[in-house]
């Protein structure tokens, strides 16, 4: 016969019975409250950092078509430029990044693409410098230092290298497709030292005097004066002064220009006349090379005029904030 003690022990082990719950200790409560308090502080710090730092760093500063550049990247580009040249300019950097984006976005339209291996080769040559050879470990040390100095990520640094290669190839492509024949004007010019002298020359031409005779008499530029003002045939971008070129390609045959200055100081003035025009004349080799030297910039001017872009640094307060960030380092 089982003892009462055995029965009580068996009854205590019955599955249906429930043991009395333990109350949470004061230590556990303290830990929970502490964790909640620390979480609130961390969230407050994150929110505060966002409003006082991240919010400004994430703001857009520039849009080029569908690509947006934020403040964080812009500041790092400014700092890298300042470290390299000892100065920086907000407007110049905005223009530089716009140009880079135009090149990156438009180069593929001309069949220009850059592989990862080509970027690696460019970086290796940069690391090589004047050395004949370097080891892999030396290259890696150079690259780590480059990233550390510029504060660019690997992807950002390689993207800049890609754009540099694209620009070089785009320039080569545009030079190669410059036509060897183009519209040209046969130009005569009188160069004098003041606007009053140029106006007097125009008045004498209007009174019926010959342009070439006046060029021999009045022009201060000896070579063209000896030729009666004849400076030959010129294509667009062939090397004429910008003001002179603008007049030359806007005149009809036999028409005389208005007054123009040939220098920023206003010490050299001119008038010109188009003697002949040809729509498809072979370009002289030296002038063709001048056109090739200018063709990339001409392409770029057109792209800058037509690109869909927007700048968001549009007030003195934002510029002051940028200068403040630059002064911190």
pLDDT tens digits for range 185-198: 999 999 999 999 99
Please give the pLDDT value at position 304.
97
pLDDT value for 55: 59
What does the pLDDT look like over 155-201, one tens digit per residue? 999 999 999 999 999 999 999 999 999 999 999 999 999 999 999 99
Low-confidence winner among 55-59, 91-95, 240-244, 312-316 (lowest mean pLDDT): 55-59
For residue 43, give the 3-state DSSP assignment.
Answer: helix
| Mean pLDDT calculated for residue range 120-147 | 95
Do residues 191 and 223 touch, judged by C-beta distance below 8 A? no
Res 316 pLDDT > 80: yes
- pLDDT over 80 (residue 9): no
* pLDDT the model gives residue 47: 44
User: Which is it for strands 230-235 and 260-261: parallel, antiparallel or unpaired?
Assistant: unpaired
Q: What are phi and psi of 26, to 5 degrees?
A: -65, -30
For 328, half-sphere exposure in the C-beta direction (CA atoms, 13 angstrom radius) is: 8
Distance of CA 208 to the CA centre of its chain: 52
Any idea which fold 182-280 has?
Answer: Chitinase A; domain 3 (3.10.50)
Phi and psi at residue 189, to the nearest 5°: -145, 150
Contacts of 241 (CB under 8 A, 6+ apart): 262
Range 257-284 average pLDDT: 95
Whole-number percent of the chain with pLDDT over 90: 78
Edge-to-edge strands, sheet with 60-64:
67-70, 60-64, 309-311
Distance CA 107, CA 20 (A): 77
Q: What is the share, in percent, of the chain residues with pLDDT greater than 70?
A: 84
């Amino acid at each position: 016969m089982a003892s009462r003690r055995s029965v009580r022990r068996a009854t205590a082990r019955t599955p249906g019975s429930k043991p009395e719950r333990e109350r949470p200790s004061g230590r556990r409560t303290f830990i929970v409250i502490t964790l909640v308090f620390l979480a609130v502080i961390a969230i407050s710090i994150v929110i505060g950092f966002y409003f006082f730092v991240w919010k400004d760093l994430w703001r857009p500063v520039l849009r080029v078509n569908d690509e947006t550049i934020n403040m964080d990247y812009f500041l790092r580009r400014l700092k890298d430029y300042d470290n390299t040249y000892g100065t920086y300019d907000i407007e110049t950097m905005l223009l530089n990044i716009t140009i880079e984006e135009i090149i990156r976005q438009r180069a593929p339209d001309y069949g220009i693409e850059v592989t990862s291996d080509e970027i690696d080769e460019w970086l290796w040559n940069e690391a090589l410098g004047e050395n004949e050879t370097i080891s892999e470990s030396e290259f890696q040390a150079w690259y780590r230092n480059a990233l550390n100095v510029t504060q660019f990520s690997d992807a950002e640094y390689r993207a800049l290298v890609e754009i540099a290669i694209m620009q070089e190839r785009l320039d080569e492509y545009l030079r190669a497709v410059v036509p060897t024949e183009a519209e040209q004007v046969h130009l005569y010019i009188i160069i004098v030292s003041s606007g009053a002298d140029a106006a007097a020359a125009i008045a004498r031409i209007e009174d019926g005097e010959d342009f070439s005779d006046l060029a021999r008499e009045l022009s201060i530029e000896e070579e063209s004066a000896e030729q009666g003002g004849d400076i030959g045939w010129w294509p667009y971008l062939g090397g004429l002064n910008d003001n002179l070129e603008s007049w030359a390609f806007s005149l009809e045959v036999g028409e005389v220009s208005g007054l123009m200055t040939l220098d920023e100081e206003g010490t050299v003035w001119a008038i010109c006349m188009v003697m002949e025009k040809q729509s498809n004349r072979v370009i002289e080799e030296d002038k063709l090379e001048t056109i090739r030297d200018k063709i990339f910039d001409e392409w770029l001017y057109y792209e800058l005029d037509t690109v869909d872009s927007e700048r968001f640094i549009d007030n003195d307060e934002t510029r002051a904030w940028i200068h403040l960030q630059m002064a911190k380092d």
